[in-house]
Chain A
Amino acid sequence: MQYTIKNARLLDGSVVDVVINDGTISEIGSSLKVGEIIDGKKNLLIPGLVDLHTHLREPGREDSETVATGSMAAAKGGFTAISAMANTFPVADTAGVVEQVFRLGQEAGYCDVFPIGAVTQGLKGEALAELGAMANSKARVRIFSDDGKCVSDPLLMRRALEYVKTFNGIIAQHAQDPALTVGSQMNEGVVSSKLGLNGWPAVAEEAIIARDILLAEHVGSRLHICHLTTAGGVDLLRFAKSRGINVTAEVTPHHLLLTDELVSNYDPVFKVNPPLRTEKDVMALRAGLADGTIDIVGTDHAPHPTEDKDCEWQSAAFGMVGLETALSVVVKSMIETKLMSWSDLVDRMSIAPARIAGYTNHGRDIVVGSPANLTIIDTSSNWIVDRNRLASKSKNTPFQAMSLPASVLHTFFNGNLVLKNSELVMGGSN
């Protein structure tokens, strides 16, 4: 397919026509007119967003999300690459499962779906999964994570960090000391004390981060901290980076905007792990993302069926969907607050995650020859979140009815228009 995006605004403010031919950007200039014309209307053209933290639920819980529906949600959210977490049924701890997820992503054709492999067999935290087999599979797995569970055994964590060095892998840690968080339901603090809900103290995250950055330094390997939520964690990351330790970190959109005060009505749509924290933590996370201490935004898109949220708090599942609101929430918390520019946002949501994960076809400069994984954003309009209009199979968004800035108009994946005027193009790129 050939397309010309007319009047696309680039990050430097220039307005250009961009020709896409056979999956790559073939020409940039003015008065170009080849193939299908997409009127950019001076909206912002950026490299497609990249998520390193997505739960797709297939195989096993196709009632909450499939690789296909998650891919569609990604395209609607402006993502051209997502990373499927390993906590499926069966767990993605073998070459077979990661290849299946990778293939399902290709078949869906809305974005690249790169599987993340489990660190330990069955996410049990007892013995290493076949990391090498997953790395050498067709899915070419480079990120390994037991996300949802912490690799809490320090020796096993050390071994994992060492082992993945042979193929330049990275261990993405869900930093949560299990012993400090038995039965935990929400952030431990003033609000939990009033609500009588079991606390998840910040120290349970910070203790694991501290341990793991020291392990990463000791063995000289790559560590990624998933969904950082605490002010103390940001300080530890800052310390690690000042020591030159090879650690990266992500923050979710919801932790940049929401606080534990929202738990006060016990609505489980606000139940998430790690939990919503305090205003002070939110401010520290924003500052950390702005100054680069936190490298990237990761959605932690976590779909759950209605019945898993339509119950009392304690029985409800942890997690929030986030692919379709991520960009807007980051704009609201980081750009509208003047903490970051659009260039910074593109770095944190596309360039840096692609670099960390080695997704070489994503997060590229908009120049001739780059793969056409692109998204076009209307930066001036607001929209109201309506959970019934989400492409995701699950509707557990904490942003329901909220007015958010910036909407995704068009998404190109591999040179194909998969989202046009904010509507999915049926069949994706296939």
Chain B
Amino acid sequence: MNRHLLSINDLSPQDALGILNTASELSKISDGPMKKLPTLRGRTVVNLFFEDSTRTRISFESAAKRLSADVINFSAKGSSVSKGESLKDTAQTLQAMGADAVVIRHGASGAAQRLADSGWISASVINAGDGTHEHPTQALLDAYTIRSKFPQYQDSFAGLKVGIVGDILHSRVARSNVLLLTKLGAKVSLVAPPTLIPVGVTDWNVEVSYDLDEVVKKVDVLMMLRVQSERMKDSFFPSEREYSRGYGLDLARLNALQEHAIVMHPGPMNRGLEISAESADSHRSVVLAQVANGVLVRMAVLYQLLGGAALTGEVSA
């Protein structure tokens, strides 16, 4: 596996399954009396957040702490970054402080890769969401969640049908999920108004549909994406109500899902826009499991990037 996790493209299917398996092992420990592992004692993980994201930051922070790493939270607001300091200077400052891993969330697509490639720092870089590009740990935790709900899909997602619904154009969650799900063999359908589907989607190895009612009938997993109301101002769709009628998961569509199908959402949800309250709170919804699994998967990523040693050996030692 690479030293960094910048994109799902950095992972082979085996690498990805390896992370999921590690996360499974870690979950057994987390269920036990001692939640904390000594693996990363003395190592420093920096959460470098140029965008507000309390959820993702807390998830990474909690993952690093459960592995006994020292955690520094560096957020753009109220720091030198907001005074115009460049990414390069910030990165070099972290380097001088001895960061072993930098978890970066940034509004610019490619920022994580720049940080990793530019030679500014030697730490491992983990992409916690870059612009409208990727959010690889979200896709990994989603895959982990799918695997935990469908025992038949442990080493491959061949045969699994997933619908991803919403603002595909601007969604880093969608990009990472499409890459990972197709890499593992799943069949992915994207559902959105044409304005929110990228022109280059032809190359993505997915189906595109504008008809959510058709798609809900056939999928095993329905992943709803957050739709930002700003998109309405830019005329991506005429109104929130029209969007919701065409592409929202309401009760009728929830009931049209197959018996075994699950509903996912990366959060935070816009209840009443892309997902109705009934759908969000239904037994099919695995939203809270996604949050819990996020910590495990991020532990697994930190473990593999920084820990090195095989998990089972260390636990028994």
By a beta-carbon cutoff of 8 Å, the part of chain A in contact with chain B is: 185, 188-199, 201, 265-267, 307, 310-315
B238 within 8 A of A: no
Candidates A193, A198, A310; contact of B204 at CB < 8 Å: A193
Contact between chains at B175 and A194 (CB < 8 Å): yes
A198 to B109, CA, bound (A): 9
Tell me if B202 and A313 are in contact (CB < 8 A). no
CB pair B88–A196 under 8 Å, yes or no, is no
Asked whether A310 lies within 8 Å of B199 as measured between CB atoms, the reply is no
Query: Is A312 in contact with B201, judged by CB distance below 8 angstroms?
Result: no
Complex contact B202–A190 (CB within 8 A): yes
Determine how close the nearest CB of chain B comes to the CB of A268; give it in whole angstroms.
Answer: 8
Residues on the B chain within 8 Å of A185, using CB: 109
Measured CB to CB, the nearest residue on chain A to B114 is A312
Which candidate, B24-32, B127-135, B158-166, is the interface stretch facing chain A?
Answer: B127-135
- 176-213 of chain B: CB within 8 A of chain A: 198-204
B172 at the interface (CB under 8 A from A): yes
With A190-B203, A196-B132, A196-B133 already in contact, the answer to whether A311 and B88 are too (CB < 8 A) is yes
Whether B198 pairs with A192 at a CB distance below 8 angstroms is yes
Q: A185-B109, A195-B109, A196-B130 known; 7 other A-B pairs, CB under 8 Å?
A: A191-B200, A192-B198, A193-B200, A194-B200, A196-B109, A196-B132, A312-B111
- Contacts A196-B172, A307-B86 given; indicate if A313 touches B199 (C-beta within 8 A): no
- A121–B174 Cα distance when bound, in Å, is 44
Q: Tell whether B98 is near chain A: CB-to-CB under 8 Å.
A: no
Q: Kindly list the 9 A-B residue pairs having the minimum CB-CB distance in the complex, ordered from nearest.
A: A193-B200, A266-B110, A196-B133, A193-B198, A314-B108, A196-B132, A190-B200, A196-B109, A312-B108
Name B's A-contacting residues (CB within 8 A): 86-88, 106-111, 113-114, 117-118, 130-134, 172, 175, 198-204
Are A266 and B114 within 8 A (Cβ)? yes
User: Shortest beta-carbon distance, B114 to chain A, in Å?
Assistant: 5
- Across the interface, name the chain A residue whose C-beta is closest to B202: A190
Query: Quick one: which of B108, B113, B172, B199 contacts A315, CB cutoff 8 A?
Result: B108
Q: Are A193 and B199 in contact, with the CB atoms below 8 A? A: yes
29 pairs of residues in contact across A and B, judged by CB atoms under 8 Å = A190-B200, A191-B200, A193-B198, A193-B201, A193-B204, A194-B200, A195-B109, A195-B110, A196-B110, A196-B134, A196-B172, A197-B110, A197-B131, A198-B132, A199-B199, A201-B199, A266-B109, A266-B110, A266-B114, A267-B117, A307-B86, A310-B88, A311-B114, A312-B108, A312-B110, A312-B114, A313-B108, A313-B114, A315-B108
Residue of A nearest to B107 (CB): A314
Please report the C-alpha to C-alpha distance between residue A193 and residue B133 in the assembled complex, in whole angstroms: 9
Question: Given the complex, which residues of A lie within 8 Å of B118, measured CB to CB?
Answer: 310
CA gap between A107 and B111 in the complex, in Å: 43
CB distance from A181 to the nearest CB of B (A): 14
- Would A189 and B199 be within 8 Å (CB), given that A194-B175, A196-B109 are in contact? yes
- Rounded to whole Å, the gap between the CB of A403 and the closest CB of chain B is 23
User: Which chain A residues lie closer than 8 Å to B132 at the CB level?
Assistant: 196-198
B117 contacts A265, CB within 8 Å?
yes
Residues in A whose Cβ lies below 8 Å from that of B86:
307, 310-311, 315
From B234, which residue of chain A is reached at the shortest CB distance? A182
A60 to B149, CA, bound (A): 62
Known: A194-B175, A196-B133, A307-B86. A314 touches B200 (CB 8 A): no
| Shortest distance from the beta carbon of B181 to any chain A beta carbon, whole Å | 15
**Separation in Å of the A259 CB from the closest CB of chain B?**
14
With both chains docked as a complex, state the minimum distance between the C-beta of A342 and any C-beta of chain B, in angstroms.
39
Give the residues in chain A near B130, CB-CB below 8 Å. 196
A420 vs B267: C-alpha distance in the bound complex, in angstroms?
66
A196 to B204, CA, bound (A): 13
Task: Check A266–B113 contact: CB distance below 8 A.
Answer: yes
A312 touches B175 (CB 8 A): no
List B contacts of A192 (CB < 8 A).
198-200
Chain B residue numbers with a CB within 8 Å of A196 are: 109-110, 130-134, 172, 175
A315 to chain B, nearest CB (A): 7
A180 to chain B, nearest CB (A): 12
Task: State A280–B8 Cα separation when bound (angstroms).
Answer: 28
Residues of B near A191 (CB, < 8 A) are 200
A194 contacts B203, C-beta separation under 8 Å:
yes
| Contact A193 to B203, CB < 8 A, known contacts A265-B117, A310-B88 | yes
Which B residue's beta carbon lies closest to that of A315?
A: B108
Instruction: Give the CA-CA distance A195 to B201 in the complex, in Å.
Output: 12
Q: Which residue of B lies closest to A182 (CB)?
A: B234
Q: Are A311 and B87 in contact (CB under 8 A)?
A: yes
With both chains docked as a complex, state the minimum distance between the C-beta of B242 and any C-beta of chain A, in angstroms: 23
The interface residues of chain B lying within 8 Å CB-to-CB of A311 are 86-88, 114
B108, B134, B199, B203 pick with most chain A CB within 10 angstroms = B108
A195→B6 CA distance, assembly (Å) = 12
B175 CB, nearest partner CB in chain A, Å: 6
Closest to A187 in B: B200
Task: Point out the residues of chain A lying under 8 angstroms from B131, CB to CB.
Answer: 196-197, 314
Distance A307 CA – B88 CA, assembled complex (angstroms): 9
In the assembled complex, the CB of B64 is this many whole angstroms from the nearest CB of chain A, namely 24
Q: For residue A189, which residues in chain B have a CB less than 8 angstroms away from its CB?
A: 199-200
User: Complex: how many Å from CA A319 to CA B204?
Assistant: 30
Taken together as a complex, chains A and B put the C-alpha atoms of A201 and B201 apart, in Å, by 15
Residue on B nearest A191 in the bound complex, by CB: B200
Closest residue on chain A to residue B200 by CB atoms: A193
Given A194-B175, A195-B133: A312 touches B200 (CB 8 Å cut-off): no
B contact residues around A266 at 8 Å (CB)? 109-110, 113-114, 117
Does B198 lie within 8 Å of A313, measured CB to CB? Answer: no
Give the docked Cα–Cα distance between A189 and B86 (Å). 29
- Shortest Cβ distance from residue B25 to the other chain A in the assembled complex, whole angstroms: 32
- A380, chain B: closest CB distance, angstroms: 36
The docked-state distance in angstroms from the alpha carbon of A193 to that of B200 is 5
The smallest C-beta distance from B169 to any residue of chain A, in angstroms, reads: 8
Q: What's the Cα separation between A216 and B110 when bound, in Å?
A: 41
- Chain B nearest CB: distance from A232 CB in Å? 14
- How many whole Å from A310's CB to the nearest CB in chain B? 6
The smallest beta-carbon distance between B5 and chain A, in angstroms, is 16
Nearest CB of B to A76, in Å: 29
CA distance A195 to B7 in the complex (A): 10
Q: Which chain B residues border A307 with CB–CB below 8 Å?
A: 86
